Chain A
């Protein structure tokens, strides 16, 4: 990390703190100033700022702020996993006592890789690693293999595999289920998550089209009755 970022001068520090305060109030500001992604350009992975100004990112973030239960039927390559990881990090950093579960088909898929920004938890770690001057911002991060903890906030991001067992035993404040149509046990996870959701939590299900889950996600997004398919 450059010395200027580790020990910023007073003006930089003030600007940073102002941005941090704005980010606390608005996740789009957090995306704009503090989220970095890893894009593949040719054969190289390039660190780039998150494209927060793209219209679909703005619209979806506003939608998420006002609707706790969202199911996104998406096409490929629209940055949804980065967006979901960014939202989970934002919620964990700026709010007290959050338990946010990041769910994928397998635990390895969720954990991914921090160095290349792969998997939901790997992306969250990647974003956190690149937030500058954490000591100035008062951001404490404790990164473990399957979890990221924010001790000052008593918040945790927890990577879990598919299924309803882990969700059923805990009361999550937020759940992100990535590529849930490919999770055979998505139906169980959704059923187990419903009590948490009614208690004030949020649930974000994101997937491309598939029927590996027995059509549960298709029924959810297309508003079909359970008997269909």
Chain B
């Protein structure tokens, strides 16, 4: 049968010719009533997040509309971060313990009333989980994410600090007037303060200036490297920092998942609010809602806290939970001392 005009072949199956010479076929669930029975459809609706109303009708989710109603732009305008996940974060929002900024030398952080860095948890804070027997203190690993803007008052440059073990927000900076090189100096001081944290900074545009300042001027080398994962053996690439798109699924996907499954803890109110402002555009790309209508290249210059959080989370995933641990010094003759001695002798006898 040659299709010359829009034709309903069977219920749920229509075909129409297109200007490109193709026959466009629309295949709806109604075309296969044997396999896709009403019971199967109801079960699928539930799985895809549709909600049954008291009157028996369904409030359809965008996932259903995309998968079964063939709606290409179903997710347009939908929030990126699950509202239920963000509600879980709400009780954890609190004011910063104190504020910090650089001292006169520009290398060290000191407490200041109007400092730019908001400290929510100190680097020496003990981990929430109990320490193993015999371990007195640990130095917790931290990851830092940085998004860099021009520093001309448009979008924010951000520094987000997270603990690697709990993925908990420890500190935050957001400033739209700090220049990329100054941000590098500030970040090096913050990273040193937070137990020599691993810094994951965006590489594109002004990010490279920040990275070079940290490396060359501040001599801070604990920077996140891109890994070439498509090789049989993963290899460190020469490029430092996050070279990909800041809102790509590769970076954002993990962060969305972490928020959705409550694997992280946010403390900054402004950061939490910004998470609510991210939506999907018509092409399924992640954008800030204020910039949804701007050209794509303009959007990409937008730097803010959410990108910083996603980068910090990325850095935390590549870190051990603790950097160093210090064993408790047991008094001679105590039970702990005898246990440590026995352990030492045992390990010595088992060694080659």
Contact = CB atoms under 8 A, between A and B. Distances in A.
A214 B72 CA distance: 11
Given A215-B72, A215-B283, A69 B21 contact: yes
A223 B21 CA distance: 10
B22 A210 contact: no
Interface residues of A, number: 38
B67 interface: yes
A79 B31 CA distance: 12
A183 to B, nearest CB: 14
B25 A220 contact: no
Interface string A193-223: 0000000000101001111101100101111
B10 interface: yes
Contacts of A212: 284
Given A59-B10, A74-B70, A77-B36, A66 B25 contact: no
A62 interface: yes
Interface residues of B, number: 39
B84 interface: no
| Chain A facing B: main interface SS | mixed
Contact of B31 (A69, A78, A209, A214): A78
Contacts of B69: 75
A209 B27 contact: no
A67 interface: yes
A98 to B, nearest CB: 21
Contact of B3 (A63, A203, A205): A63
Nearest to B73: A211
Interface in A63-117: 63, 66-67, 69-80
A192 to B, nearest CB: 15
A80 B72 contact: no
Interface in B59-96: 66-74
Interface in B17-63: 18-29, 31-32, 34-36, 44
- What 10 pairs between A and B have smallest CB-CB spacing? A56-B31, A74-B27, A223-B18, A59-B9, A69-B22, A72-B25, A218-B72, A67-B23, A211-B284, A221-B24
Interface of B: 1-3, 9-10, 12-13, 15-16, 18-29, 31-32, 34-36, 44, 66-74, 282-284
Interface of A: 51, 54-56, 59-60, 62-63, 66-67, 69-80, 181, 203, 205, 208-212, 214-215, 218, 220-223, 229
